[in-house]
Amino acid sequence: MAGSSDSEWVRAAVAQFEQPLLRYALRLTNDLERARDVVQDTFLRLCRQPRKDIEARLAQWLFTVCRNRALDLHRKESRMKPASTTLPDVATSDAPAPDAALERDETVGRAMRFMSSLPQNQQEVLRLKFGEGLSYKEISGITQLTVSHVGVLIHNGLKTLRVRMGATPRMAPGA
């Protein structure tokens, strides 16, 4: 059985990562109840792992286990519904001012509509990078892609989104 400091560590991990993992699992499963089951299973597996083995790479470990569990469910069911562009209200209440929030929501909504037309691997790495704030190295560990391939997918995805959203291309310095 885990010691009290290990129990506190797990509780802190749940507090920090439950909502991001739920959003991620929801994108992978497109079903809130399945996503909750995946996240719960992820934290149960965390409880069984020696803290010293994963503490330094906790975020990567959690997202990897969550992803693998969701993919296992997908394989088991052998079908997956198309990803939805809307999420249930699982966000925290760190909301910006209403006018800024409205503008951001409109921009995010447009980006999400365009993002749904990107290849699945580009969508996944973009969500992990910008939605969850993970590093290329962490995304590489989660997706089992090389760090450089993650970078290429992110670059190509952003480039495509910029074009589709009508953004002007960036000019090189001194051009």
Q: Which residue, chain included where needed, has tokens 């989660």?
A: 142
Label residue 101 by pLDDT band (50, 70, 90): low
pLDDT at 126 over 80: yes
Which of 102, 107, 106, 139 has its CA nearest to residue 123?
A: 139
> How much is the pLDDT for 168?
58
Which amino acid, residue 41?
D
Please report the pLDDT score of residue 146 as a whole number. 95
Is 128 in contact with 24 (CB distance < 8 Å)?
Answer: yes
Rounded distance between C-alpha atoms, residue 117 and residue 95, angstroms:
28
Name residues whose C-beta falls within 8 Å of residue 39's C-beta, 6 or more positions apart in sequence.
18, 21, 22, 25, 66
Q: What is the pLDDT of residue 162?
A: 85
1 falls in which pLDDT band (50, 70, 90)?
A: very low
Q: Is the dihedral of CA 71, 77, 78, 84 positive or negative?
A: negative
- pLDDT one-digit tens code per residue, 31-58: 899 999 999 999 999 999 999 999 999 9
| Buried-state track 70-94, b at ≥16 Cβ within 10 A, e below 16 | beebeeeeeebeebeeeeeeeeeee
What pLDDT is recorded for position 92? 47
What pLDDT is stored for residue 154 in this prediction?
A: 92
